[in-house]
Amino acid sequence: MKKPESRLALVRRARRINRELGELYPGAHCELDYDDAFQLLVAVVLSAQTTDRSVNNVTPTLFARYPDAEALAGAEPAELEAIIKPTGFFRAKSRALTGLAQALCDNFGGRVPRRHADLVTLPGVGRKTANVVLGEAYGVPGISVDTHFGRLARRFGWTAEDDPVKVEHEVGALFPKKDWTLLSHRVIFHGRRVCHARKPACGACGIASLCPSYGEGETDPDKARKLLKYELAGQPGQRLRPPATPVLATGAVPVIGAAPGEGTAT
């Protein structure tokens, strides 16, 4: 019977996973297109139950029509709904967007607040959205627990919790606060690129040696490679306006077909 992992061993393994994900995805970032905190906030609210790519497809039109909180607060529901309809749940999202825009105008002078406690008072804004906005727009560290992050945190053995708030707190306790934002991006990148929900590509995973869930997915290297989408190359496939620098470092590549004990190649 395998000896239970000690707390110290868990912390060391978790931080090594973070480091190695950093080598695999040195340009890991939020994959929503935005120019300022207001656009980011709106985009994150729209991203619920859809892909970042679908949000990026509608936001150029959305922000051209409603460039600030005042304009969005006065949007005609039918017009706004027509623009954001491809993101799904468009009626509820329309109400949330006009509500948060009005709250920004009424309570914060039309500006996106810099405090977590203020952000979560806005319609449609929960802890995850607040953490994304604070980390991306204002440099305030935070862990963003979306479906990818929660799934991988459990597979990595960092937590057994399903509740996003509990996941956030348990995982946060394993890492220095300064690492939280980048950790979120790296884990989400890996979840989108390799460690898929239904069939993780274990045989094409660069951190297989550190994962207690190795074997839950396809371990055959050739078959695992076929499961990869745009993601393995690290290209920012969600974005319409990608960053100039590649997301995947040229000097660090996943070991295709790495079995436990093999890790990554540089």
Is residue 106 part of the annotated active site? The answer reads no
Of 33, 52, 93, 146, the active-site residue reads 146
3-state secondary structure of 5: coil
Query: H or E element: which one contains 2?
Result: none
CA 259 to chain centre: 26
CA 54 to chain centre: 15
Of 115, 48, 42, 122, nearest in space to 75 by CA = 42
Which residue reads 């000097």 in tokens?
A: 251
Cα–Cα distance between 23 and 133 in angstroms, integer? 25
Is residue 128 part of the annotated active site? The answer reads yes
Of 52, 93, 128, 179, the active-site residue reads 128
For 83-110, b/e burial (b = at least 16 CB within 10 A) is: bbeebeebeebbebbbbbbbbbbeebeb
Residues taking part in catalysis: 128, 146
